[in-house]
Amino acid sequence: MGQVKDILGRPIRDLRVSVTDRCNFRCKYCMPAEIFGPQYAFLPKSEILTFEEITRLAKIFSFLGTVKLRITGGEPLLRQDLPLLVKMLCDLGSYEDIALTTNGYLLSKYARELFDSGLKRITVSLDSLKETTFKYMNGGVASVQGVSKGIEAAISVGLQIKINVVIQKGVNEDQIIPIAEYGNKLGINTRFIEFMDVGNHNQWMKEKVFSARDILKVLQSKFSLEPIVSSYRGEVAQRYKEKGSSWEIGLISSITKPFCRDCGRARVSADGHVFTCLFGTNGFDIMSHMRKGIDDDYLMGLISKIWTLRKDKYSEDRSLLRGTTDKVEMHHIGG
Ligand code: SAM
Ligand code: SF4
Ligand code: SF4
């Protein structure tokens, strides 16, 4: 079928597949413990996509022009036998790039197996090197040491690591320099992300956003940075490199400088719903169609139709849409 474009002319470039909605952290900006406590009902196994279904979807998306694939969650390393899924996806041979996003806590356990399954790149989320702030942000669950051990284990087996940092005003802006220095020392590219109004429970206010521009100013007080021309249309991060080295930082300004016009990212939740925007509501239930036995041509036609009808640009229209209360939760759709 080849490349499909949406109503605004945007092709699908990128697919994010959530492999579980469960998580071992309770980050305040994603799954605050007051809401996602012990009583919260996560999806039962029968209602999440099997590895075969995920692999089939990845193949169909690649036929429609998708070149990048990211495995996410919830916490993807909680999904049993994840390295097997990684192998199935790598064996497709259809993607230029396959990566995983993780909170890093179980990484020291799985790094070797993931690498042996064919994975090359991992993004680890790390919002603070200061124990008290880290614990405050992740709901009191995990220590910095556990995550840094995971990062070191991943590097030692040959995985390429990137760090994602969400900066919230009044919470962890004092960590911009320490995390950048940590990344710089280990040669890990580091991306700083503005706090977003995803889901319905993270008490987002624009006053809590520490802008990408301000993050850059803080970084420039310590590092000599020069801008990098984006390598492809639709690249989400504005990238900078340190003069005289290959170390990079990225800034993701979803709030202050939205990039909807170039957004070519499709997402599939663990229960097999296709979302065409991070701020969508219900998505399109593709899993129930797949379980009725539709063939690949029909499935491709369905996904193509979902994409071609897409006109999302939530971040550009944020001021008009503010107060929307039925957005999909981040741990469900995977970031
Ligand atoms: N559990 C994994 C992790 O934390 O890396 C993967 C899923 S998590 C939903 C994916 C990414 O979304 C993480 O890098 C996380 O920091 C980011 N994220 C979650 N809530 C966010 C928010 N409100 N604003 C900005 N980024 C957020
Ligand atoms: Fe879990 Fe990731 Fe959400 Fe934190 S950001 S609660 S680690 S899914
Ligand atoms: Fe893409 Fe939606 Fe984010 Fe805009 S708001 S960049 S359309 S995911």
278-305 confidence digits (pLDDT tens) = 999 999 999 999 999 999 999 999 999 9
Q: Are 269 and 48 in contact (CB under 8 A)?
A: no
Q: DSSP label at 57? A: H
DSSP string, 24-52: S---TTTS-TTTSSTT--PPPGGGS--HH
Choosing from 21, 27, 134 the residue with most ligand 2 atoms within 8 A of its CB, the one to mutate for a pocket test is 27
Residue 87 inside a domain? The answer is yes
Contacts of 48 (CB under 8 A, 6+ apart): 19, 20, 21, 270, 271, 272
Residue type, 276: T
Domain of residue 67 covers 14-333
The first and second tokens of residue 151, run together, are: 């990062």
Per the listing, tokens 């490349």 go with 3
Residue 176 inside a domain? The answer is yes
Residue 9 inside a domain? The answer is no
Which numbered ligand comes closest to the C-alpha of 318? 3
Residue 276 inside a domain? The answer is yes
Strand partners, 225: 242
Residue 236 inside a domain? The answer is yes
Choosing from 263, 316, 321 the residue with most ligand 3 atoms within 8 A of its CB, the one to mutate for a pocket test is 263
Indicate if ligand 2 lies below 6 Å from the C-beta of 30: yes
Residue 116 inside a domain? The answer is yes
**Total tally of structural domains belonging to the chain:** 1
Residue 199 inside a domain? The answer is yes
173-193 confidence digits (pLDDT tens) = 999 999 999 999 999 999 999
Q: What's residue 235's pLDDT?
A: 74
Q: What's residue 17's pLDDT?
A: 98
Q: What's residue 256's pLDDT?
A: 95
Per the listing, tokens 């759709």 go with 333
pLDDT in tens, the chain (335 residues): 778 999 999 999 999 999 999 999 999 999 999 999 999 999 999 999 999 999 999 999 999 999 999 999 999 999 999 999 999 999 999 999 999 999 999 999 999 999 999 999 999 999 999 999 999 999 999 999 999 999 999 999 999 999 999 999 999 999 999 999 999 999 999 999 999 999 999 999 999 999 999 999 999 999 999 999 887 776 788 999 999 999 999 999 999 999 999 999 999 999 999 999 999 999 999 999 999 999 999 999 999 999 999 999 999 988 887 777 789 999 999 98
Q: Are 130 and 14 in contact (CB under 8 A)?
A: no
* 278 CA closest ligand 3 atom index: 8
Residue 51 inside a domain? The answer is yes
Indicate which CATH number applies to the domain containing 187: 3.20.20.70
Ligand 3 center to 333 CA (angstroms): 13
| pTM attached to this predicted model | 0.97
